Each structure stands twice: as C-alpha cells, then as structure tokens.
Amino acid sequence: MGRGLLIALAVTVAVWLLAVIVLVAVGRRTQARELAVLLPNLVHLFRGLLHDPRVSRGSKGWIWFALVWFLSPIDLIPEFIPVAGPLDDVIVAGLVLRHVLRRTDREVVTAHWRGEPSTLDAILTAGRRTSAPPN
C-alpha cells in the first residue's frame, strides 16, 4: 500500500472518529452510532450492489471507477494536505453514490443495507433529490 494511501486512510479515520466523539460529547448518541457504522455499511452496500444482477452495468462501472480512484496514488489534491487532501475522494464518492442511487431501485439498495433504515432513508432522499424549478 502506498504511503499516500495510508496517510489518506489515517486522516479519513481520524476525522470520522473525531466527528463521532463530538456527537457523543454533545449528547447525540444516536447520530454518533449511525456515523460510526456508516462507512462499514456503505462498503457492504457497494459490495452487494457490485454483485447484484439487478444493478446496471453502468452503475457497476461507476462503482469500480470510484474504487480505482480511491486506490490510485494520483490525486487532484495531494493526500498529505490536511482536510483538503481527501476532498477529491469525498467528491468522487458522493457523485458515484448519487449516480448509483438515482439509477437503482430502492428495493435493491434496501436489500444490501445493514444499517438503520432511517439512515438509508436520509441517504436515498439526498441521492434522489432534484432541484426545484426557480420561482
């Protein structure tokens, strides 16, 4: 594993743990628990979607693209830059997640989700939201 990838992973985990700790400290234990299991649940979700024949090849291709992007030592913003380093990975993850959720039936996504249904509802709502026409 490359040094840059290890640094990115360490920074991501540190920020994630800090967010969980802050939520616990301010008395939001439910949100802290949901955040603590979000990453493992997303990994499980994408792994399931990759192996599900009901998911389009295009969506699977985007999931593979995101995986290669995360593992690639080449980034738009170098990983060793605090906070901003993992930003390009977060943007790619968000865009891929949005694409996959817009093109995959809710039933398929639900079948692969291990977390709280309310968390999945929030993710699906954000992923399927479209902008309202201007007034």
Q: Is 110 inside any structural domain?
A: yes
Token look-up 């994408």 returns 46
**Confidence check: pLDDT of 131 > 50:** no
**Confidence check: pLDDT of 135 > 60:** no
The pLDDT value recorded for residue 66 is 85
Q: Is 13 inside any structural domain?
A: yes
Q: Is 135 inside any structural domain?
A: no
Q: Is 134 inside any structural domain?
A: no
Q: Is 133 inside any structural domain?
A: no
Enclosing domain of residue 44: 3-128
Q: How confident is the model at residue 134 (pLDDT cuts 50, 70, 90)?
A: very low
Q: Is 60 inside any structural domain?
A: yes
Domain count, the chain: 1
Range 91-106 average pLDDT: 84
Range 45-62 average pLDDT: 93
Q: How confident is the model at residue 117 (pLDDT cuts 50, 70, 90)?
A: confident
Query: 30 versus 3: which is more confidently predicted?
Result: 30
Q: Is 34 inside any structural domain?
A: yes
Please give the share of the chain, as a percent, with pLDDT higher than 90.
16
Query: 36 versus 65: which is more confidently predicted?
Result: 65
Long-range contacts (CB closer than 8 Å, 24 or more residues apart) made by 4-8: 4/73, 4/75, 4/78, 4/79, 4/80, 5/71, 5/73, 5/79, 7/79, 7/80, 7/85, 8/75, 8/79, 8/85, 8/86, 8/89
Distance, in Å, from the CA atom of 46 to the CA atom of 91, rounded to the nearest integer, reads 16
Range 57-86 average pLDDT: 78
Q: How confident is the model at residue 2 (pLDDT cuts 50, 70, 90)?
A: low
Q: Which two three-digit tokens encode residue 28?
A: 């939001």
The pLDDT value recorded for residue 48 is 93
